[in-house]
Amino acid sequence: MTGSYKAAGVDLDAGDRTIELIRRAVASTYGPAVLAGIGAFGGLFEAAALRAHDDTVLVASTDGVGTKTLLAAQLGLWRGIGHDIVNHCVNDILVQGARPLFFLDYIAAARLDPQTIAEVVTGIAEACRAVGAALLGGETAEMPGVYRPGAFDLVGTIVGVVRRSQIIDGSRIREGDAIIGLASSGLHTNGYSLARAVFEKWDLRARPAGLEQTLGEALLAPHTCYLEPIRTLQQARIDIHGLAHITGGGIPGNLPRILPPQLGAEIEWGSWPVPALFGLLRRAGQISGDEMFRVFNMGLGMLVVLPAEECGRALALLGDGAYRVGRVVRRQEGEEPVAIR
């Protein structure tokens, strides 16, 4: 062994090359509010850009894309997971009514490949530009011994803003409210450990019967961002009572997070088209229906709770990919909060 950091597994030159490759993509997300970004020890974002009111509230969230990165590595398709992490985080603060301000990423691997990192960060920058968020900073960590060779971790943190009077927290949900489901593009960023186990020996470049794309393309479809459809409803003054981002735990695990204690929800199975990928997963893995709903989004990435009398107008505004899928009901003691019938 030679006495160098590179010999120990960390290539500082690769880190420098990575910064140069991503500098332009990152800077493309900056607006006048960004006072310091890439290269600074800390990103600076001018508070005046918040157009602050007395009731301005900052909203923050952090998440990762999980083992979807392993599929991206198998196929050498990296840019999509950059979109995944941004869109997931945007949706997480969107459910409380917040618009995104800036985003930070964390990328870790046993060994950094500058081209791979550049492809991921380019995807992150594209997604940030699409939602008007600055990619304010990030970290790339090379950690041999912590990560297996070829392993890759991607985490994102987002900060957004909402006025206190406009926070959506589910407290105004009432019995009889309608539930609209917004279509997902596929698995999004959840359930990949189970999906990878099911398809471990399958050819990801083949197109199984029933799919309109290869299995790998279907599995890597980027996480849908719901910022625009929710903005459409808000601009039309639709009275949104609650929003639920359907991530890990599926509908049964996420919808109850916004329901008042005495209320539950009935979801009508068959009221929306379930993408063929989910049926393929269920058959190939011999997975029960209950388990499918607990692990996967089953074709609905966002649920919107609103007064029943506004449902028709909301569906007309949203167009394709929006479905009335259920209603809010009074829940008896001991009953499960979500019933899928």
Confidence of residue 5 (pLDDT cuts 50, 70, 90): very low
**Mean pLDDT, residues 313-335:** 95
Where is mean pLDDT largest: 35-39, 104-108, 146-150? 104-108
pLDDT tens per residue, range 267-298: 999 999 999 999 999 999 999 999 999 999 99
pLDDT tens per residue, range 232-261: 999 999 999 999 999 999 999 999 999 999
- φ, ψ for residue 262 (rounded to 5)? -90, 0
pLDDT at 82 over 60: yes
Q: In terms of pTM, does the model score above 0.95?
A: no
Yes or no: say if 191 and 253 are a contact pair by the CB < 8 Å rule: no
**Mean pLDDT, residues 211-217:** 96
User: Can you list the domains of the chain with their CATH numbers?
Assistant: 12-166 (3.30.1330.10), 178-340 (3.90.650.10)
For the chain, give the mean pLDDT: 88
pLDDT at 15 over 90: no
In percent, the amount of the chain with pLDDT more than 70 equals 86
- pLDDT (0 to 100) of residue 10: 44
**Mean pLDDT, residues 32-60:** 67
Confidence of residue 147 (pLDDT cuts 50, 70, 90): confident
Confidence of residue 31 (pLDDT cuts 50, 70, 90): confident
pLDDT tens per residue, range 118-132: 899 999 999 999 999
In percent, the amount of the chain with pLDDT more than 90 equals 70
Yes or no: say if 176 and 327 are a contact pair by the CB < 8 Å rule: yes
Candidate from 54-68, 204-218, 265-279 with smallest mean pLDDT:
54-68
Where is mean pLDDT largest: 14-23, 154-163, 221-230? 221-230
CA distance 243 to 211: 30
CB atoms within 10 A of CB 197: 10
CA distance 76 to 319: 35
- pLDDT (0 to 100) of residue 146: 85
**Mean pLDDT, residues 1-17:** 49
**Would you call 261 exposed, middle or buried from its count of C-beta atoms within 10 A (0-12, 13-18, 19+)?**
exposed
**Mean pLDDT, residues 295-323:** 97
